Amino acid sequence: MKLNYKKDLRRIILFYWAVPILTALVLFPLLPIILNYPPDSIDNQFQLEFDGITYTQQYILLVFLIIFFSLIFLLIRVFKISKSFSILEKKSDSLSKKEISVLILKIRSFCMNTPYLLYFLEILVPLIFLPVTFMIIKAYPLTIIKICLIYLSFFTLGSVISLIFSKNQFRRILMVLHDNYTEIMDDIEFGLASRRKSEFKSLTSKLILQLFPLVLISLIITSLVGYVQASTQTGDIYYESYRTLMEKQFNHPFRDQQEMRDTLEEIGFLNDAHLYFMIDSSGNYITSDHSELQPFFIKYTLEKSVSEQGRTYDYFCLDVEGIATKCITLDGQTYFVGYLYNTQQPQFLKFILISDVILFMIIFVILLYVSASLSKDIKVVTSKLNEIASDNRNEIRLNHNLAITSEDEVADLVMAFNVTQRLIKRNVKQIHENQDMLMEKERLASLGQLIGGIAHNLKTPIMSISGAAEGLSDLIKEYNSSIDDPDVNSQDHHEIAKDMASWVEKVKEYTGYMSDVITAVKGQAVTLSEAENITFDVEELVKRIDILMKHELKSALIYLNVELHTSEKTSLHGDINSLVQVINNMISNAIQAYGGKPEQTIDFIVDQTDSHQLMITIRDYASGLPESVKAKLFKEMITTKGKNGTGLGLYMSYSTIRAHFGGDITFESEKGKGTSFHIILPL
């Protein structure tokens, strides 16, 4: 069997390559802009000397690690599932139904779980590798946090896209399985219905899983961009203000360092948290409050500030900037002097965080409410479908239409449900009518069989009674003629009376047998029209079967081997007529299984199990059942008798045992060795 699944698996692998790469390509130019990296500080000799690795190298390494681990995990799972598909393709004909079911369940589990496992893996991998990588290059904690948030946001967005796409592809694979193994898939899905809560994820959790990250990503990116822009604007204001002041004061040569420091102090500070600095060309520096300057700030000031019109920066993503002007003093030593200021906006950051938390809670509650509302609408339809397919008493309930309370796809679902319910109700009515007709046909056929049995079973006792009547008639004539005969003594009269009494006993015996036959036949004649639940014993059951099947067994020259492995007085409660009809039907099937071959045996075994159940076994030693029949037995009406059978017998027998006795029927059949049917009844 050829299964078209490889194209879908290739698409899944390709997509899990493409989405992270596209995400990485989009993020690559955006990251420096969003996080406001210092100008001319990445992908050059400056960064290589400072960090030992460029921005592009960092980025490629991180993206490779993120994609590599996810794809290795995916390829391992795809390899395993491809093996299962390969076995189904090559060995499907030689595998048992159970083995095929195991393979299908494995593939089904793969298709259901892989998108979610990859979803969490694609989020978990950046959380591990991003902090480790930036800690290796000794980045500042604030820098690590900001970069990790941006990376995580974009790759989480990519993982959500991958999840949505891959689920559609995996759904196509499941459809391939369903189309090729419809019967087995139906059985599996029917079995899964009994453990619905443990097997499936709720609609609410799935919606939150897919929409919640998008909300979180939006809040993170919006907040970061907003904060960075506010910080940038603050830096622009400080820069322009200090630049204006310094252009007026630093437009002449200076005699020494002290004069430069006096000039800086004379200008003053725009904020008490600011400080001035002086850095010589060797990297030595002094500050107004004797605090340390970071190496990045010193290096950037010396190498980049001139080309950036005096503006200088501290490390990536830090809200620290400065303005520097180059001055030449005595002895030819070059100095950079200026101001260092912090562009952080604590109040604005606090406002953003509080707003994000409040907005997040509001959106989360709304998302929960919407998803729960949608889930509730669908659950209403589900609960009604469960009512229709109620297993409590093998009933279906088709009397309640659902109200249409929305104008969306749920309304379409409700309308489809109502239409389906109406059609099912109409079809069920038609099925009942057809079933009644078939049952009437089967009842008439059974009555015809009973009448044939009656004719044969009553023929012998009637002929015997007729013979007895003739014997009695002869004895009456003999007695009448002997009344006046002097040679007839009292002894002769006693002998005549004895012969007459013998014939009377035989008549009683024959009439008793006829009464038993009529009683048994009367019960079977009404078995399909009304049920009578009574308490009866095994002896009564075996007696009725013997009476009713004697003619058919004798005509076919088949021997019924009765074995009782329990007491004859073992009691059962139920409709004995229905049970007799079921057993007779199975014995008749066993007779027909021999195809007219005489001198054969059918075992009729009654045994009591350890679990307080009675097992009745009807076993023949004929050719066994075909595989096509075994697969459909008890599930639909099927016959091996061609035009001479309706297939209703065993189908109705199974229903009778389940409905009237709360029991079960199982079977075993081996080609060339025969078939055994087991009727299991609770005691």
Q: What is the pLDDT of residues 127-152, one digit of tens each?
A: 787 788 777 777 778 777 888 888 87
309: left (phi over 0), alpha (psi -120 to 50) or beta: left
User: Do 453 and 589 have their domain in common?
Assistant: no
For residue 500, the enclosing domain spans 431-530
Provide the CATH number for the domain around residue 623: 3.30.565.10
Helix (H, G, I), strand (E, B) or coil at 53: coil
Query: For 14-23, 28-37, 333-342, 447-456, which range has the lowest pLDDT when averaged over its residues?
Result: 447-456
CA 384 to each of CA 302, 365, 397, 426: distance values in angstroms, whole numbers, following the listed order: 77, 28, 9, 18
Q: Which of 155-169, 183-197, 377-391, 514-528 has the highest mean pLDDT?
A: 155-169
Find, among 679, 637, 647, the residue nearest to 662 by Cα. 679
* Whether residue 189 sits in one domain with residue 44: yes
Return the pLDDT at 501. 83
User: Could you give the strand order of the β-sheet that contains 285-287, starting from the edge strand earlier in sequence?
Assistant: 285-287, 275-280, 334-342, 320-328, 311-313
Assess whether pLDDT exceeds 80 at residue 440.
no
Choose the final residue of a domain: 498, 530, 562: 530
Average pLDDT over residues 563-586: 85
The pLDDT of residue 443: 59
Res. 528 pLDDT band, cuts 50 70 90: very low
Residue 411 resides in a domain: no
Instruction: Evaluate whether residue 412 is within a structural domain.
Output: no
pLDDT reported for residue 275: 93
pLDDT grade, residue 12 (50/70/90)? confident
166-196 pLDDT, tens digit each: 888 888 888 877 777 776 766 666 555 555 4
pLDDT tens-digit readout, 233-258 = 999 999 999 999 888 888 788 888 88
For residue 523, pLDDT over 80 is answered with no
Decide if pLDDT at 635 tops 70.
Answer: no
CA distance 555 to 585: 16
Task: Check residues 478 and 457 and name the one with the higher pLDDT.
Answer: 478
- Percent of the chain's residues with pLDDT above 90: 10
pTM: 0.55
Tell whether the torsion through CA atoms of 466, 468, 469 and 473 is positive or negative.
positive
For residue 398, is it within any domain?
no
State the DSSP code for 642.
Answer: G
**Statement to judge: residues 178 and 243 lie in one domain:** no
Q: 230: closest CA among 323, 326, 348, 59? A: 348
Mean per-residue pLDDT of the chain: 79
pLDDT at 197 over 70: no
Residue 27 resides in a domain: yes
Check whether residue 242 and residue 307 sit in a common domain.
Answer: yes
For position 561, what pLDDT does the model report? 92
Q: Strand 320-328 and strand 533-537: pairing?
A: unpaired
The residue with greater pLDDT, 606 or 33, is 606
Which secondary-structure segment (H or E) carries 11? helix 6-34
Q: Does the residue 182 lie in any domain?
A: yes
Q: How far is CA 279 from CA 291, 294, 337, in A?
A: 13, 12, 6
* Same domain? 44 vs 149: yes
Residues 681 and 589 in one domain: yes
- Whether residue 391 is predicted with pLDDT greater than 60 in this model: the reply is no
β-bridge partners, 537: 571
Count of domains for the chain: 4
Final residue of a structural domain among 365, 391, 417: 391
Same domain for 100 and 150, yes or no, is yes
Same domain assignment for residues 46 and 56: yes
Lowest mean pLDDT among 485-499, 503-517, 589-603, 642-656: 642-656
Res. 31: pLDDT tops 70 = yes
Neighbours of 514 (CB within 10 A): 17
* 34: Cβ contacts below 8 Å, ≥ 6 apart: 150, 221, 224, 225, 228
Strand, helix or coil for residue 70: helix
In terms of domains, do 41 and 85 share one?
yes
pLDDT value, residue 287: 93
Domain finish residue from 336, 370, 391: 391
Given this model, what pLDDT does residue 448 score? 60
Residue 110 within any structural domain of the chain? yes
Asked if pLDDT for residue 312 goes beyond 90, the answer is: yes
pLDDT tens for 462-479 read: 777 777 788 778 777 777
Higher pLDDT, 560 or 89: 560
Three-state SS at 147 = helix
What is the gyration radius of the CA atoms in the chain, in angstroms?
47
pLDDT reading at 339 higher than 90: yes
Residue 425 lies inside a defined structural domain of this protein: no
Residue 450 shares a structural domain with residue 472: yes
- Find the range with the poorest average confidence among 40-54, 404-418, 422-436, 519-533: 519-533
Least confident of 221-230, 277-286, 379-388: 379-388
pLDDT of residue 300: 93
Does one domain contain both 306 and 248? yes
d(CA 102, CA 98): 6
Residue 282 CA to residue 265 CA, distance in Å, equals 24
User: Are 183 and 237 found together in one domain?
Assistant: no
Residue 604, pLDDT > 90, answer yes
Residue at 186 is within a domain: yes
